[in-house]
Amino acid sequence: MSVLNETHDPALQSWVTSANQAETDFPVQNLPFGVFRPRGSDTAFRGGVAIGDRIVDLAALQAAGLYDGQAAQALQACTDTCLNRFMAMGPKAWSALRLALSRSLRSGSAHEAAIRACLLPQAEAEYALPAQIGDYTDFYTSIHHATNIGRLFRPDNPLMPNYRWVPIGYHGRSSSLNISGSDFKRPQGQIKLPDAEQPVFGPCKRLDYELEVGIFIGTGNAQGQPVPMEQAEAHVFGLCILNDWSARDIQAWEYQPLGPFLSKNFASTLSPWIVTLEALAPYRSAWSRPAGDPQPLAYLDSEQNRSQGGFDLQLEVLLETAQMRKQGQAPFRLALSNFDHSYWTVAQMVAHHTVNGCNLQPGDFLGSGTMSGPQPGSEGALIERTKGGKEPVVLANGETRTFLEDGDRIIMRAWCQGDKARRIGLGEVSSTVLPAA
């Protein structure tokens, strides 16, 4: 588990002026990793680090020859078209490069002139998935979301009996994971209305978003070798934002007995920057179980997890309709939640995923599941907010929504903020719904 060090000092300033603004997601205390290239170019994608409104081109930095030792080795791995090789190097290499970058980007650094030549405005970049994602598992870790969904179908018994014992997850489709800005066509499939004798084929009419936290695996584990709780976070490279789009009417017809299929595999959208667990260290929080709930089995428990297994990470969903865009109106906030509402922690997800001998690999991806909170307005999906489509949301411009319409753009943001540390943001993820093919 990451501990505080010199890179977290809230007094640190950067010679990149935009990194010193109070509202930036990317101060010198953050330094998230991604993959980019100049917009419109045919050059290869390569690793980059966000600082203020700029990107440090890590391939150009490597060519400058400023670093040595472990930081230089880690930097060389970031010149690939994806970050898998860097992820596989482990926490010591990740931390060594982050420390070197922190010192180079601080005010007064002797490296300022050399690194200025390696900067690109984020507005002039295009992004790719930061890793080759071999496998994707989506969890179901918000008890508030699980309860809200359960009430729609089982009002008297919303939670399944295994929920408080097992971190529930299912195997997702990695090929349809896309980077922020990747718009997608409304999915089609079989839909059966409750009073119909047979299903029909057509476009989804109950399209929904899901507000999730994405978790990138760094170092893997050998097949047959479970990862214990005490070591679980050493296998996690960092976090991003995930919108796991869902076709609720297709899902209702197909999900029994084996779970979601076409209702989930058409598109999921990720934010481009991965914030390392080390950068999030000032915002770790204690984790506990509510009184009366069963305590986790031994393989899902540790003192370390109880003392700081959580993350005080705020999560926001905004909707921009086609009409809002045309009239220049600001997006409407649909939800504000927090990753601290998670019933299961990141470490518990990793430990449970591997306890049967499953081997995770560098670049594998986990979704937290929809992150809903306990209060009205913290629902992480429209199906919850609208009570299954029965209570439309009235937007600020008078439009209403029960589910998403063509032209709707969903924007998700995430950040940590407090009095004793600099704001650390994950950036944003956005995508627009296009008409069905």
Can you give the pLDDT at residue 3? 86
Helices 69-77/91-105 angle, 10° precision: 100
Distance CA 432, CA 257 (A): 31
Nearest to 415 by CA among 275, 209, 216: 275
Can you give the pLDDT at residue 153? 85
Residues 266/184, Cβ–Cβ less than 8 Å? yes
Mean pLDDT by 10 residues, the chain (437 residues): 91 98 98 98 98 98 98 98 98 98 98 98 98 98 96 90 96 97 98 95 98 98 98 98 98 93 97 98 96 96 98 98 98 98 98 98 98 97 97 98 98 96 98 97
- Look at the pTM and tell me if it is higher than 0.85: yes
The DSSP letter of residue 142 is: B
Catalytic, 341? Answer: no
Can you give the pLDDT at residue 2? 72
Q: Which of 144, 145, 235, 341 is catalytic?
A: 145
Report the 10 Å Cβ neighbour count for 414.
29
Strand partners for 50: 55
Report the 10 Å Cβ neighbour count for 128.
16
Structural domains for the chain: 6-128 (2.30.30.230), 136-434 (3.90.850.10)
- Four-residue CA torsion sign, 278, 349, 142, 50: positive
Beta pairing class for 409-416 and 314-320? antiparallel
